[in-house]
Structure 1
Amino acid sequence: MEIDDEACVMELVKHLENDTLIDTDGRDKLVGKLKGYQDKLYIDPVTGVYNRRYFEDEIRNMQNSAGVAMIDLDDFKLYNDIYGHDMGDQVLCIVADVIKNCIRKTDKLIRYGGDEFLLILSDMVRGTLRGKLLQIQEAIENATIPNCSRLKLTASIGGVISEDGQIDEAIAKADQLMYKAKDHKAQVITECDKTIFKKEKIQNKPKILIVDDSEFNRAILKEILEETYEIIEADGGNEALHKIDEYGMKISLVLLDIIMREKDGFEVLKYMEEERLISDIPVIIISSEDSANYIRRAYEMGVSDYINRPFDANIVYQRVSNTVKLYAKQRRLMAMVTRV
């Protein structure tokens, strides 16, 4: 039709009630289906908490300040290896429930991956962050596992405060602190108290026995390792045997020279083999002797590693650290098996 000599189109519109196309029951069913789909999309099927996809869609772009914590179960792989994956899933469910009981409805718990949980604590301030994380850690340690009461859980936790729009950076910092906590086991470290550890953990350094008839060589190794380890020294094979008898399984590692006056390194290894200690106490040979026969014989007698002099201090530290951690896990595994 024309209006003021211009061609126009008239549309006839009728208001439709909500129930015209779908009734109330149908609408409720549709909403229920959509909610069910959202639950499947964002809920972890094992623990019932939020999953990594929820983080990517809903949390990553958050702008509010909040407490951010990474929570990791200590020795979780050992639980799976000893008790099976069904028990591992049960442990994850119990831990998730324990954490949920310690937080508010406004807080978000996310299974970030494997046995790691990401916790977002809304409106959290620095003064109360550590206290809340300690509460969560204690609750995890006090949790009981049905049909396996001897299994004791511990967790390592790192926490920071996320400033506006810095959630990714906060998670990265919390993750770094969590891994520092794992080096000491069952610790809580926040950005404000990075050096705070339980006193008994600090005092209980792994013991390393250094066996070398050269005081200079012992001093170099001690300088490299004494910040992290408690150092025991032996100036030759005879004293080494006395130290091994005195400390036994309290020794985490033996650093052993081959060429020594009196008893040499091979005699020390023979004694440890006879006493069935060589499989429980790792030995690393540090020697200037690089003969293939010496090296082959040392490995045949059960040494874990062989380092030639002159050595790089960083390499020595890393290889010692790796060996100590490997055997510590083995000892914890044997302890768990014994308790079963």
Structure 2
Amino acid sequence: MKDCILKVEHLKKYFPITGGVFQKVVGQVKAVDDVSFEVKQGETLGLVGESGCGKSTTGRTLLRLLEKTAGQVTFDGKDIYKLNKNEIRKLRTDMQIIFQDPYSSLNPRMTVGEIVGESLLDHKLCSKSDLKDKVSETLKICGLAPYHIKRYPHEFSGGQRQRIGIARSLILNPKFIVADEPVSALDVSIQAQIINLLTDLQEKRGFSYLFISHDLSVVQHISHRIGVMYLGSLVELAEKNELFKNPLHPYTKALLSAAPVPDPTFKRNRIILKGDIPSPANPPSGCKFHTRCPYAKEQCSTEVPQYKDVGGGHFVSCHLT
């Protein structure tokens, strides 16, 4: 069994809602609400769910780009929220992020060479004389040419920009990468290239990924295990084949029923969810999904279902199981 490189326990991230003349806190937006999971060495854990369910906030909070409200995040045996600034700075070389937007995440005033090589100089991992060779080598691995070093982000397409963002994360040779919807802004053909690139690099270097996406087909292709989030909570987590063959949570079943199948003769029974997504500032009592669940019973509206292993590492949070 592979060693666990990242362990997240009961992670919460609430954003305060202020109001009134004195801007007092009048409520909380529960963006991430009691999430627990593990990522093993060399594994890709996919995280899927509707927009606004807390996927990106989860990724940013476990990297300490956002500070947690509660919970524990252990990376490589260290509780990252007990580390001081100097220790966190050292940890940045092992934990990186690929941002969702390939346009706003790159500084338009810096050349590609400066963007990709900045972190090496900042962490004093490379001399200025060796920097050009290191950057050129990393760009080549990511499918870009050495002469791109002197160009600026506006001179590249969306797919090329995302490769620059990937190169910026990979050049430090990290152990763990949060890939925050890295292909959502790209064309389908470019998506395939980026996904294959990430897979190849994982095989060569042994990275672990938390791959955040709303595209089930992409997550199925790249992930080893998949977690499903709804309104800030993890409702199901399982091996990818198990999740697609035997989904247990009604929300997971609805997501899978909406996924397109490349076979015009195949007819899938669509599960249409009724009602609107509740606000994370005022989530429903009991099971958060009960207001839209076609199988909800009285217990669902009063009791929070236990997040439990139903066998074979298949976790689900539902009274029906």
TM norm structure 1: 0.22
Structure possessing the higher relative contact order (Cα contacts under 8 Å, 6 or more residues apart): 2
Q: Specify which structure has the higher proportion of strand.
A: 2
Tell which structure's C-alpha radius of gyration is larger: 1
TM norm structure 2: 0.23
Q: Specify which structure has the higher proportion of helix.
A: 1
